[in-house]
Every structure is written in structure tokens, then in C-alpha cells.
Amino acid sequence: ARRSISPALYHMNPTKINEDIVVPRDKIPDILKKLRGLSEESGIQIVNFGHAGDGNIHVNIMVDKKDAEKYQKVESLVREIFEVTLSLGGTISGEHGIGITKAPYLGMEIKKHELELMKGIKNLFDPKNILNPGKIFI
């Protein structure tokens, strides 16, 4: 059944935005309540599943790209989801990491000087910027 969730959601709505957050296990009930509230406030269905053992929640924002009014709300909804996650002592990324779509939000969790340090380390190992250019440090 676990492997059937994503395909089933795709059949419900082919356009879904997937996020991957983690909160401390004792905060799972809190994040689920907050996500329900954000869903109700925005009028956008959010479907959650994940790994309770490590607090990893797969947040699926079920929005149709053809509904311009709702689709415009997605970016602020994602930001709110990340803010709530961080306020509960969580992280904006679990098993799927930071990629192109999450890179703009990395500064919500990582301090500017830490980002600069990370950028410096990347530059040390990849001075010609040939490894994943433009993915995180744009």
C-alpha cells in the first residue's frame, strides 16, 4: 500500500507539489494539525504521508495548474509550511535533500555566513563549477 500512495495522488490530481519535511517525532501531531489548518485557510488540499519513525512527512500540495488563482498561492503556502516546520524544531528537507526548487528557501534554515561557508567548500572542491552547476549556489 505504501508504494501506491503517490500514484493514487497522481490520479486524483496530475499536478501536485511534493515537499519533504522533518519534525521531531513528538511534534508530528502538531505539524499535521498545522498542515490541516494551512490547507483549510488556503483552500488547497494537502495530503500527507511519511515515516513516523523519523518524523519525515511527505507533504503533497494538490493544486491544478489550470486554476491560476490557487496556483498563485502555492509559493506562499510552501513558505508557510517551511516556517511552521522550522518553528517546531524541524528541517525543510528530509531524505530528498535540497535541489533547485528548495534552494531559494535554504536561507530560512541556514544562516547567511553558513551558506557562504558551504559555498566556499563547494568552490574548494569544484573551482571550475562543473559539478551540478547552478543547482544550489546560483
The whole-angstrom separation of Cα 38 and Cα 112 is 28
Q: What is the pLDDT of residue 8?
A: 80
Which residue ranges make up each domain of the chain?
A: 2-95, 98-138
Q: Yes or no: say if 115 and 104 are a contact pair by the CB < 8 Å rule.
A: no
pTM to 2 decimal places: 0.88
Region of poorest pLDDT, from 30-39, 53-62, 80-89, 92-101: 92-101
Q: What three-state secondary structure class fits 42?
A: helix
pLDDT of 111 higher than 90:
yes
Quote the distance between the C-alpha of residue 57 and its chain's center: 9
Per-residue pLDDT tens digits for 41-89: 999 999 999 999 999 999 999 998 888 888 899 999 999 999 999 999 9
Architecture of the domain made up of 2-95: 2-Layer Sandwich (3.30)
Q: Tell me the percentage of the chain whose pLDDT exceeds 70.
A: 98
